[in-house]
Amino acid sequence: MSQSPERSDPSADPRRRIPRTDHLLAHSQVRRASDSLSERVVRDIVRAAQDRARRGEIPPEDVLEEILSAIGGRPAASLRPVLNATGIIVHTNLGRAPLSAAARDAVQAAAGYTDVEFDLGTGARARRGAGARAALLAACPEAEDALVVNNGAAALLLATTALAGTGEVVISRGELIEIGAGFRLPDLIASTGARLHEVGTTNRTHLADYTGALGQGTGCVLRIHTSNYRVIGFTSEVEVAELTGPCRAAGVPLVVDLGSGLLAPEPLLPGEPDVAAALRDGADVVIASGDKLLGGPQAGILLGRADVIARLARHPLARAVRADKLALAALEATLTGPVPPVLDALRQDPEELRERTDRLAERVGGRTVAHDGRVGGGGGAEVPLPGWAVALESDLAAPLRQGDPAIVTTVRDGDCLLDLRCIPASEDERLAAAVASARGSRP
């Protein structure tokens, strides 16, 4: 008569063959492969492989191989570099502006101890980020002073908190914008305790609307650039220069949030406002983002009158939103170094781009099609950047995205479009190899 399962030989249980944790951690290959990971992470990987064997998903003899595979393919950080083949230069989902080589070097140099808030000459405490501030003032002489915080939303939060307090922020109804992921600037401003005083209508706002709103309870007047949309047709808006006189007469600061990060005019984007012009027109503070058309790291940049910037810097909130040393280093290097990748991509010559696209298309068996690039990130709304793309089979999008290197493309009209605008020419060999690999991986 056969034995019941309870009386069967316990040594036959395959789970008994699962290697012990201490033996696995001490294995020479595991120790070598885990140089870039913490002990806690390695232990978690070991336990996950043992648990799979206990559940019968893998044989006990494969536990070590499973661990080595997981450790070997796992970097310390989970963010993966990608090649941006969408033609969208400031792609928010892909980290916005790629840093220049100079900025990357600056970040690496600043990763250890630095003199970010220390004077090596005197041995005393110094103004934080003095180098980035000096670089901003050199790049935008119209500003008397500058302050850097951790992003554009933080810059607007600080400006409205410090200048308006619980008073009123006067703003046109046509500028109550919502940007990506449902983020609404009016909600941000209201969260500070300030009261929004909306003037005008969605499509038409006049100077009298602003002047009629100015009073003792006014904390500031705010102009926001409608970066990612346009109101056209029967419209009217008030220019910064027109607002300067009434604001000065009422003793009310004029804040202009441009967002896109242009310090000076860009010929390819004639409709995009710039910081220098807004300051010349009389704005007291202008806000811009560091990781958009400026081409640097994520940062909120405030430029303007010395007394107003000092008022912002003294506010307690300034400490909570200040930029870290890595952002300050990258920002300074972006401003003092060569042309950043964002501007290189913006200024691509269409004919040169066509020649390069033709070569890659011939090599990978695709075809060249016209494809307009875009600024992205709320800049240059509705402004096409004429260019070209390699049209491939649409089912290559997923394997390209999941390959190594990861390549993000656009699928349109049944084609997988590979736009080279934002990809350095030095990557063309890898692109061709990646397309061949993606074709080979299809079922």
State residue 1's pLDDT score: 46
Q: Give the model confidence (pLDDT) of 202-213 as tens digits.
A: 999 999 999 999
Judge whether 356 and 375 are in contact, CB under 8 Å: no
Residue 80's CB: how many other CB atoms inside 10 A? 9
Distance CA 166, CA 185 (A): 17
Q: What is the CATH number of domain 99-338?
A: 3.40.640.10
The DSSP 8-state label assigned to residue 324 in this structure reads P
Q: Which CATH architecture group holds 82-91+344-441?
A: Alpha-Beta Complex (3.90)
State residue 2's pLDDT score: 47
Q: Give the model confidence (pLDDT) of 10-54 as tens digits.
A: 567 888 899 999 999 999 888 887 777 888 999 999 999 999 999
Average pLDDT, the chain: 93
> Where in the chain are the domains?
14-72, 82-91+344-441, 99-338
Distance CA 333, CA 135 (A): 9
Q: C-alpha 126: how far from its chain's center?
A: 29
Number of residues in the chain: 443
Q: Give the model confidence (pLDDT) of 308-360 as tens digits.
A: 999 999 999 999 999 999 999 999 999 999 999 999 999 999 999 999 999 99
The full DSSP string for 170-188 is EEEGGG--B-GGG-BHHHH
Q: In what order do the strands lie in the sheet with 195-199?
A: 145-149, 300-304, 285-289, 254-259, 218-224, 168-172, 195-199
Distance CA 95, CA 90 (A): 8
pTM summary value: 0.87
> Is 99-338 the same fold as 82-91+344-441?
no
